[in-house]
Structures are given as C-alpha cells and as structure tokens.
Amino acid sequence: LSAVGLAWARVPLDGRVGLWLALGGLYCLFWFGVVLLVTAWQRNSSFNAVALLGAWLTLVVLVPSLLSVYVAAARPVPQGLALTMQQREAIHGGWDRPKAETMRQFFSQYPQYRDTATIRERFVWRWYYAFQYLGDQSAAPLATAYAEGQAQRHALAQGLAWLSPALSAQLSFNALAGTDLPAHLAFQQSATHYHDALRAFYYPFLFKKIPFTHADYARLPTHSFTSPTDTGAAWAGFAQLLLSTGVVYALGLALLRGRAVELR
C-alpha cells in the first residue's frame, strides 16, 4: 500500500522516504514487542487482552495527555485571544484617536513620509492604513512572546517524547513531513515578510500619491513558501523509538527465559 501511495502521489524517492518507512516499521516492531512482553507472562487470553488495551491507552492516550498538561504548565505562553484582543482594540481605538497623533506615531517609524500633506479630511486611506499598522505594532510584543513560548513548548515536548513511543513517532512524522510546529512558525514568519513587502510596495502610492500604472502590476510582491523538513528531529525521534523498542524486547525475552527456567 505504501508503494502504491508513493507512486500515485509521485513522491520523489529520497532519503526522507527511507526514513519514513523505517519509522513506520520500527513503530510496528515496538508494538510487537509489547505483545511479546505481555504474552511472556503466559497468562490467559482475557488477561492478555486487558493488559494490551491498558498498555495502548497508557502509551497513546494517558501519557501524551499528561505530558501536554505538564508542558503547558511548565512553559506558559500568552493566550492567543489576548493577542487578538490587543490588536483589535488598538485598531478600533484608532478611529477615535486624533489624526495628528496617529500620523505622528506612524512617522516616527516611517520618517520618509513626514513631508506628506496634513490630513484635513474626515477619511483618507493613508490615515486608515497608518492606524492599522500601529494596531499591528501594539500586538507585536505579545505575538513574539507567543511564538517564542510555542517554540519552547515544542522543544520540551521533544525532550520528553521518549516517555511515549506514540508521541516520538508522531513528532518524527510531523518533522519529516514539514508539518510540525517549527514549520508552522516558519510559515508565519514568511507571511510576515510578505506583508512587510506589500507594505513597502504600496506605501509610496498612498503617501507620495504616486500614480499606479499598468506596469506596476508586474512589480507586485508574490509569496511562496516551502515547508522545511527537519530530518534531524526525525532521526532524534527514531533514536528514541529504537531505544523504547529495544527495552520492550529485552524485557520480553528476559521474561520468556525466566518462565522457561521455571518450567524446567
């Protein structure tokens, strides 16, 4: 099935595919090791079924849930709602703030536009985008703290993932696919740079009143993003999973030998 999926999706066959297959195979071997460890007790089938279910619930549900609670408590971050409210309240307040005060704050960060005409109208677009920018800037410290806190949580979770092979495998697959938290933060940073590029492109038209011509469409900034693959994190998860697999097989084989000696 994996081969069919790879061929259908036209996935390039590079080292990431091999690591993905190795991770999947090793994760299956781990659970075979758990079965070996449980059956080595040589109890009845009811005991084996309950023990295997308990092991699965513990390693896949309970331990990751407890780790999530611990990580959240150990690495507190600003609430996303607080960040959103800060930005929205600053923008809504911009409507009532005196235009001269808004433009003075804006010009302190964009002094190249100080020579623009004083705003006397009730509404002009450059004033509107000025207080939109100031609203974004008011939430910037919270946004930075939020991103840094999320990165710290992710690093702590990676360090504790050895306690749950399921979590090790999940983090490894995410890193390999470029869908983990660092990739998400990289996308957000990329989107921020794109927004900055759009601002730098359009501001001269707004504040200098430069005519926008058909030729300017070709100069519009574009955005592209390729999600990074963290093979280092994937290999770290592979090592954690390999250690867990080795431990359960060692315990299972030791228990089997002990039972064999008792039977003699």
Q: Tens place of pLDDT for every residue, the chain, 264 residues?
A: 666 776 777 777 777 888 999 999 999 999 999 999 999 998 999 999 999 999 999 999 999 999 999 999 999 887 778 888 888 888 888 898 899 999 999 999 999 988 887 888 889 899 999 999 999 999 899 999 999 999 999 999 999 999 999 999 999 999 999 999 999 999 999 999 999 999 999 999 988 888 999 999 999 999 999 998 999 999 999 999 999 999 999 999 999 888 765 555
CA distances from 228 to 45, 170, 195, 205 (A): 46, 17, 20, 35
Which of 136, 126, 122 is CA-nearest to residue 103? 126
What confidence score (pLDDT) does residue 66 get? 97
The residue type found at 120 is R
- Residue bearing tokens 């207080």: 131
What confidence score (pLDDT) does residue 260 get? 63
What confidence score (pLDDT) does residue 256 get? 87
Which of 200, 195, 220, 211 is CA-nearest to residue 112? 200
